[in-house]
Amino acid sequence: MDRTYDVIIIGAGAVGCAIARELSRYTLSVLVLEKECDVAYGTSGRMSGVVHAGFNNKTGSMMAKMCVEGSRGFEQICRELDIPYRKTGKVLVAFDENDLKALEKIIGTGKANGCEGLRLLDEKQIRAIAPGLGGIGGMFSENTAIFDPFEFCIAHAENAMDNGVDFSFDSEVTAISRDNGIFCVSTPKGTFRSRYIVNSAGLYCDRISAMLGVDKYKIYPCRGQYYILDKVAKDLLDIPAYPVPRPGIGGLGVHLTPTIDGNIIIGPSAEYQDDPDDYSTTREIMDKLFSEAKALLPAIERKYIIGNYCGIRPKQAPPGEGGFRDFTIKEEETCPGLINLIGIESPGFTASAPIARMVRDILGQHVKLERKKDFNPIRKGHVRFRDLSEAEQKKLIEKDPEYGEIICRCQNVTKREIRDAIENRFGARSISAIKYRAWATTGRCNGGYCLAKIVDMLIKDYDMKPEEITYRGAGSELFSGKVK
Amino acid sequence: MKRDCDVLVIGAGPGGLAAACQAKKEGAGSVIVLERDAKAGGILNQCIHDGFGLIRYKKALTGPEYARKAISEAQDAGAEILTSRHVSRIDRKEKGFLVSAYSRDGIEEYQTRAIVIATGCRERTRGNISIPGSRPAGVFTAGVAQNLVNIRNVMIGKRVVILGSGDIGLIMARRLTLEGSKVLAIAEIMKEPTGLARNIEQCVYEFGIPIYVRTTVSRIIGKRKLEAVELSDLDEKGNVRPETARIIECDALVLSVGLIPENEVAQTAGVLLQPNNSVDTDKYLQTNIKGIFSCGNSRHVMDLADYVSEQGELAGLNAVRYAKGQEMESWDEEKTNCMKKGFPEKGTTTCTICPNGCQVRWDEKTGTYSGNKCPRGAKFAEQERTSPMRTVTTTVRCNGTLLPVKTASPVSRTVVRDVVASLKDVDVKGHVKAGDEVFRGSVGKSDVSMVATSDF
């Protein structure tokens, strides 16, 4: 391919997509390479969906600064890009005096970080905020919020696309070389050339960096298992509830988070492992998750569980050390033009816009950043039929009768919404692409009702062969073929 | 759009259809059945195997045939069946209820005096039972597998492991085997299979499929596509015994691990549920909301469609009696619990003439049969001993989709696989009615005729 891009971004997770959108404000040519068939397939699609307020991270760290800054601008971005967002606040639950003492320290850290709206709660106050919670007291954070992480990535990528950014999916970077100061990036889709590389490859950022000789980084994958609860348990909790963080663990502790769609999720655990791609759950951890969740919220029952999954944190802190090491975001002296983003774990989503601006500023040291006159910050999301009023629903059905056909009965997703999801702009034709956009198959029946109907649409309306239908892109084929 | 009716039935499976039919017979003016699928019949449409109707029609029918009968009975009685209607909620009004449903024509409203809930059940999933391991493509519940294989013409895998020994799982073990897949194992956590003895015999034993009890799938393996499952034995408390773990390579895992009554619609009206999601009705099948009746699998999961129909009839009858202020009739809870489940007794034959499933034993010395409650059992066992016969049910290609078919009369058990294999290239064109012959030919020494079990 002859074209030379100004910038190639590697990885279409939350941070890669946010950088793509930020750079699309300027007259730069930008390409995003993603190894999977869709956005948010790695760490970004497997997290809690919480906008952090900024009291968890060490004062003075990039994490703390960017988290507070990102948290402040998050709602505005969600408004521009039509991303579901709800400012719920958050509680930390204290079980003993030590926890209460630790909370005072956390409030101190929060204040030093510039995080507002933190206060201690006594037992009565915590019950008033969330009647079902256990504990003897706690802390309230006013500015914590929940959002839809899939829609976040999709929306950023779509908006970047609207503003001229190219995306190439199923394009795993296999090698990078340099030729006269131009990077040549090899993928199964061909070789792409650029003047700058932004490495936002998440769990694989150390490997990408090493392809250019910068091999000083090491990512320690740290798995977090989750349970997801049926919406019938929705009323048990409408605010994220966390334990008081214990030093030395790899995360924030097992917590309960209501999703934007009304399911409660339990998790994540924190287990170091070697494989960045092993998303297995285990019996021991799941049992532990459940009992820890029950301590936080005694009304939880096993019968509410409708699924389990896990995500993997790309940590820089090795197993012995635990905790958080600060983000590394910099242009490598030994490899000018390579901008590395290493160890972008929690609060990566919250910090994504400040991270993107930092990357922009690094680029700005080399190139003249000229704002596009026609940059459009607005992106319209897809219809969420189930959230509309009856009058609005009636209008839609009149416009297109496929809005009157419910395909996913648990989440009330219509045929037209499934069609819109199938015809997504990235060309992702997997079941999970439909799931992340339309939310079909995510309910209590796990696709028991809608999967066969969706498969039927893919075969009849989109001429797919059964063996071409995948769960999550190439290599995850669902079927062996036709019966006859 | 708003319509009035005397009895509104939600769900056009066997329960709902029987309820509608009986409500009309009992003198209801207008009876409407709302069905969310594009076709009435409910889950019967994907149950192409036979064994339905043994009580109600005194003969073995396939699911589509049973559905066809139930639909025409309801229609002949004057009930109106509306498909592609997805009920969103039930509002309680002063005089009865207002039911809202999504359809291609908009949001429809139905004002009714009484409601029969016949919304069936859903399957327990991998998520519900939290099987550890990865989340690859290739894990299906048995009902989804059945729908894909029998209706959508999609094959779920070539090497299959089945977890759970419920009837749908057993039926699918046979079905997948007949379509050329290898069923490597059926694992059941209990000491006995939970399906009917006749299905253990005719779907598992007859195809040489290994069935392991006190065994579970302890891990799912494969990053993107299912590569294998780990089977482990369970101890007395039901805990996995890690030392017994063994890996079985497979590309599909089918879960037949239980059914959950589906009552989300009923709940919008305030119907109270038991912890297992079933409905605690009174003996008249009436829920805690006066005027709302519940029947079939949505009330309490049942083993036979025949009993679902019977219960539906009573719910329909009582809905009318309720609306008219007349005395209602009671449901006899006992009568549905007579079938033989689990392993067949050693050295016996499970009679399939009626759902009792008598375990009939042949005594070589005396030349007599025992264990049968009626003479038909001895006759059946005699046939089984000398030359066992089977009705073969499968599908053939038809106008770009699949048509369920069966042998016009039973054939020798020895040729069952050959019959299915011989239909490989059959491609039926044009209009077909249930009962039409779609294939005739000789298979081995038998002359075989296949008839459609559904219209096209």
Domain-embedded: residue A171: yes
Here the tokens at position B63 are: 């699911």
Number of domains in chain A: 3
- Taking each continuous run of H as one helix and of E as one strand, the counts in chain B are 11, 30
> How far is Cα B398 from Cα B369, in angstroms, rounded to an integer?
45
Same domain, A296 and A345: no
Average pLDDT over residues B376-381: 94
Query: What is the distance between the alpha carbons of residues B347 and A347, in angstroms, rounded to a whole number?
Result: 66
Type of residue numbered A414: T
Whether A308 and A246 share a structural domain: yes
Q: Do B148 and A452 touch (CB under 8 A)?
A: yes
Q: Are residues A77 and A196 in the same domain?
A: yes
pLDDT of residue B258: 95
Q: Which domain holds residue A113?
A: 85-144+220-315
Asked if B107 and A277 come within 8 Å (Cβ–Cβ), the reply is: no
Give bridge partners of residue B406 from the DSSP assignment: B393, B451
Which residues from chain A sit within 8 angstroms of residue B126, using beta carbons?
Answer: 307, 446
Q: Is residue A477 part of a domain?
A: no
Q: CA dist B281 to A148, B12, B298, B318, Å?
A: 40, 20, 11, 12
pLDDT by residue (tens digit) across B196-251? 999 999 999 999 999 999 999 999 999 999 999 999 999 999 999 999 999 999 99
The residue assigned the tokens 């400012």 is A87
Task: For B91-127, give the DSSP string.
Answer: EEETTEEEEEEEETTEEEEEEEEEEEE---EEE--HH
Tell whether A57 and A155 lie within a shared domain.
yes
Asked if A140 and A151 sit in the same domain, the reply is no
What residue ranges do the domains of chain B occupy? 2-122+259-334, 125-255, 348-386, 393-452
pLDDT (tens digit, 9 = 90+) per residue, A51-101?
999 999 999 999 999 999 999 999 999 999 999 999 999 999 999 999 999
Task: Please say if the pLDDT value at position B173 is more than 80.
Answer: yes
* C-alpha closest to that of A272 among A219, A328, A327: A219
Q: Is residue A475 in some structural domain?
A: no
* Residues A445, B158: C-beta atoms closer than 8 Å: no
CA distance A396 to A405: 12
Give Cα B91 distance to the centre of its chain: 31
Q: Cβ distance B164 to B199 under 8 Å?
A: no
Contact between chains at B156 and A282 (C-beta distance less than 8 A): no
Q: Name the CATH topology of B125-255.
A: FAD/NAD(P)-binding domain (3.50.50)
Domain endpoint, select from A262, A292, A315: A315
C-beta atoms of A479 and B148 within 8 A: yes
Q: Which of B84, B219, B402 sits opposite A405 (nearest CB)?
A: B84
**Of B106, B136, B251, which has the smallest distance from its Cβ to A397's Cβ?**
B106
What CATH number did the domain enclosing A198 receive?
3.50.50.60
Report if residue A481 sits inside a domain: no
Nearest CB to B125; choose among A394, A448, A470: A448
How far apart are the C-alpha atoms of A228 and A413, rounded to whole Å?
19
Same domain, yes or no: A129 and A258: yes
- pLDDT of B335 reads 77
Residue of A nearest to B264 (CA): A410
pLDDT at B339 (0 to 100): 78
Whether A285 and A248 share a structural domain: yes
Residue B146: closest C-alpha in chain A: A452
Mean pLDDT in residue range B248-275: 97
Chain B hits for A277, CB-CB cut-off 8 Å, are: 223
Which residues are CB-contacts of B386 (< 8 A; sequence separation ≥ 6)? none
The burial class, CB within 10 Å (0-12 / 13-18 / 19+), for B337 is exposed
Query: A191 with A238, same domain?
Result: no
Short-list A22, A39, A36, A35, CA closest to A164: A22
pLDDT at residue B5, as a whole number = 96
CB-based contact B122:A443 (threshold 8 Å)? no
Look at A472 and B137 and tell me if their CB atoms are within 8 Å. yes
Residue type, A198: V
**Is B179's Cβ below 8 Å from some Cβ in A?**
yes
CB pairs under 8 A between A and B: 147
CA quadruple A293, A297, A298, A303: dihedral positive or negative? negative
Report chain A residues whose CB lies below 8 A from the CB of B91: none
Please report, for the domain that includes residue A231, its CATH number.
3.30.9.10
Chain A's closest residue to B128, CA to CA, is: A306
What is the widest separation between alpha-carbon atoms in chain B? 73
> Is B88 an 8 Å CB contact of chain A?
yes
Q: Is position A255 annotated as part of the catalytic site?
A: no
Residue A479 resides in a domain: no
B393-452 carries CATH number 1.10.238: no
Cβ-based contacts of B104 with chain A (< 8 Å): 397, 401-402, 404-405
Kindly list the residues from chain B whose CB atom is less than 8 angstroms away from the CB atom of residue A473.
224
CB A142 within 8 A of CB A236: no
Q: Cβ contact (<8 Å) for A471 and B224?
A: yes
CATH superfamily entry for domain B2-122+259-334: FAD/NAD(P)-binding domain (3.50.50.60)
From residue B342, give the alpha-carbon distance in Å to each of A36, B104, B191. Answer: 46, 45, 9
Q: Which residues of B touch A305 (CB under 8 A)?
A: 127-128, 130
Does B137 contact A308 at a Cβ distance shorter than 8 Å? Answer: no
Q: Are residues A127 and A254 in the same domain?
A: yes
Residue A394 has a CB neighbour count (10 Å cut-off) of 16
Q: Cα–Cα distances in Å, from A52 out to A84, A91, A258, B370?
A: 16, 12, 14, 73
Note down pLDDT in tens along chain A; length 484 residues. 568 999 999 999 999 999 999 999 999 999 999 999 999 999 999 999 999 999 999 999 999 999 999 999 999 999 999 999 999 999 999 999 999 999 999 999 999 999 999 999 999 999 999 999 999 999 999 999 999 999 999 999 999 999 999 999 999 999 999 999 999 999 999 999 999 999 999 999 999 999 999 999 999 999 999 999 999 899 999 999 999 987 766 667 889 999 999 999 999 999 999 999 999 999 999 999 999 999 899 999 999 999 999 999 999 999 988 788 999 999 999 999 999 999 999 999 999 999 999 999 999 999 999 999 999 999 999 999 999 999 999 999 999 999 999 999 999 999 999 999 999 999 999 999 999 999 999 999 999 999 999 999 999 999 999 999 999 999 999 999 999 9
- Choice among A52, A156, A255, A366 that is catalytic: A52
Residue B125 contacts A, CB cutoff 8 Å: yes
φ, ψ of residue B341 to 5 degrees: the values are -115, 165
The pLDDT of B31-47, averaged and rounded, is 97
Q: Which of B146, B156, B217, B220 is nearest to B188 (CA)?
A: B217
Could you tell me which residues come within 8 angstroms of residue A304 by beta carbon, excluding any fewer than 6 positions away? A229, A230, A232, A233, A264
Q: Which residues are within 8 A (CB) of B194 and not within 5 positions of it... i.e. 6 or more apart?
A: B164, B165, B166, B188, B341, B342
A106's tokens: 């956390």
A478, part of any domain:
no
What percent of chain B shows pLDDT beyond 70? Answer: 100
The predicted model scores a pTM of: 0.96
Residue A363 and residue A439 in one domain: no
DSSP β-ladder status, A182-187 and A175-179: antiparallel
Residue B190: its pLDDT value, please? Answer: 96
Residue A231 and residue A293 share a domain = yes
Q: Could you say which of A398, A404, A446 has the minimum Cβ distance to residue B102?
A: A404
How far is B327 from A210, CA to CA, in rounded Å?
Answer: 82
User: d(Cα A358, Cα A19) in Å, to the nearest integer?
Assistant: 9
Predicted pLDDT of residue B444? 83
Nearest chain A residue to B36 by CA: give it.
A406
Name every chain B residue with its beta carbon within 8 A of the beta carbon of A227.
130
